[in-house]
Amino acid sequence: MSLTHTPTFPQATLAGVTAPAGFSAAGVPAGLKSTGKNDVVLVTNQGPNYAAAAVFTANRVAAAPVHWSKQVITDGRVDAIVLNSGGANACTGAEGFANTHQTAEHVAQLLNISSGDVAVASTGLIGEQLPMDKLLPGVERAATALAGGQDASDQAAAGIMTTDTVPKIASRTVNGYTLGGMAKGAGMLAPALATMLVVLTTDAVLDATQLDAALRAATSVSFDRADSDGCMSTNDTVLLMSSGASGITPDAQEFTAALADMCQELAAKLIDDAEGAQHTIAVRTFNAATEADALEVSRAVSRSNLVKTAIFGKDPNWGRVLSEVGTTRAAFEPDELNVSINSVMVCKNGGVGEDRSLVSLEDRNVSIDIDLNAGSAQATILTNDLTHDYVHENSAYSS
């Protein structure tokens, strides 16, 4: 469990995409990753319902599977999703789109469903064609391996990892129904919305419109508020599928709250595993005139390489925080700003506050609290420090 998110709703007995009734999953190695680890994943919905909703990257240079899955979701039904790591299938032109199409067709034939109900998601290096001679046999092996239970969830979560060091899964149990999910993403991780692949499942009875509303509400306060390196991916996909297998029709507000709670746990896990990170940083802006102001301030501070290197160096350099706040359009007066780092108010009324030597930055988790003194709204962005390992990993990634 993430240190940076305290669950509101209890976890289910199982975790991951097969935690809710009515879902099977599999993850297998197909040779797309040179390491021989799992890289092809299937998640299927056995019903009785097949309602689904999805949100995608806002990047205008979107990958082939994003274009495909946007079409699939238009009728609100998804029977299965096939995911691969080891290649993003982005900037791959007509051949790339044909490969996505062929992958969906292959899944459809194997599972005896319509290819129009098969979502596709890919992650990995941009600008290279997928090795279809490896991917399609992998899909066949995944279809054979489909199962319920914890091992299937774990194998699936492992199969979508790229530079992630640990699989990310979660679950919630609420009044007779269950939610489950898995996520990947450790770099090129920024909001608007997700910059990652996430599959969420539930056995609650909900139609596509209800799922869409809940998903947008949940992602806006979770994945949208995780920002590792400010770089928006070409492949972001968050898919929510409902089997209805619990027979329970949930209260919409309760379901949304539980979904948001689980998504916040997954988002925190993404930041906890961000490339090279040694600190997870919660940038919390309080007493803003509007939530948009609070978000803008937290986002600006989260994206500052100078703030992020300072935290890496265990340096409570509040001047770098203030200089980022000053770049925003949020309502505030410079001489009314307070900044606390790990609860020590190092900046008071826009100037020197408590002794900065009182701040300990030895722990993984860091809070930067910015008080705008301009209202009562607040918002938090989760980010991480900028380290030598981030530079190393991203100067050598394509090899």
Say if residues 243 and 201 touch (Cβ distance below 8 Å): yes
User: Using the rule CB under 8 A, which residue among 230, 290, 342, 345 binds a second copy?
Assistant: 230
User: Using the rule CB under 8 A, which residue among 10, 149, 247, 351 binds a second copy?
Assistant: 351
Residues 158-177 that bind a second copy (CB under 8 A): none
| Token code pair at residue 25 | 């999953």
Residues 321-340 that bind a second copy (CB under 8 A): 322-328, 332, 334-335, 337
Residues 33-62 that bind a second copy (CB under 8 A): 58-62
Question: Which one, 181 or 350, has the nearer CB to a second copy?
Answer: 350
3-class DSSP assignment, residue 39 = coil
- Whether 195 is a known active-site residue: answer yes
Say if residues 362 and 337 touch (Cβ distance below 8 Å): no
User: Which contiguous run of DSSP H or E holds residue 153?
Assistant: helix 149-159
Question: Which one, 177 or 312, has the nearer CB to a second copy?
Answer: 312
Q: Total number of residues binding a second copy (CB under 8 A)?
A: 65
CA–CA separation, 235 vs 196, rounded Å? 7
User: How many residues does the structure list for the chain?
Assistant: 399
* Residue 391 sits in the site that holds a second copy (CB under 8 A): yes
Catalytic entry in 44, 103, 195, 234: 195
- Dihedral sign, CA of 145, 136, 270, 253? negative
The position carrying tokens 């981030």 is: 390
Backbone torsions φ then ψ of 38, nearest 5 degrees:
-50, 135
* Residue 132 sits in the site that holds a second copy (CB under 8 A): no
- DSSP symbols for 333-382: -GGG-EEEETTEEEEETTEE-S-GGG----SSEEEEEEE--S-SEEEEEE
CA–CA separation, 1 vs 170, rounded Å? 8
Residues 92-111 that bind a second copy (CB under 8 A): 92-93, 96
3-class DSSP assignment, residue 82 = strand
Question: Which one, 1 or 58, has the nearer CB to a second copy?
Answer: 58
* Residue 309 sits in the site that holds a second copy (CB under 8 A): yes
DSSP 8-state code for residue 147: B
Q: At closest approach, how far in Å is the CB of 21 from a second copy? A: 38
- The region of 26-34, 107-115, 254-262, 346-354 touching a second copy under the rule CB under 8 A is 346-354
User: Using the rule CB under 8 A, which residue among 315, 354, 364, 373 binds a second copy?
Assistant: 315
Residue numbers at the binding site for a second copy (CB under 8 A) = 58-62, 88, 90-93, 96, 125-129, 187-188, 229-234, 303-306, 309-310, 312-313, 315, 317-320, 322-328, 332, 334-335, 337, 347, 349-352, 386-388, 390-392, 394-399
What residues act catalytically? 195
In the annotated binding site, the residues are 162, 184, 195, 275, 394, 399
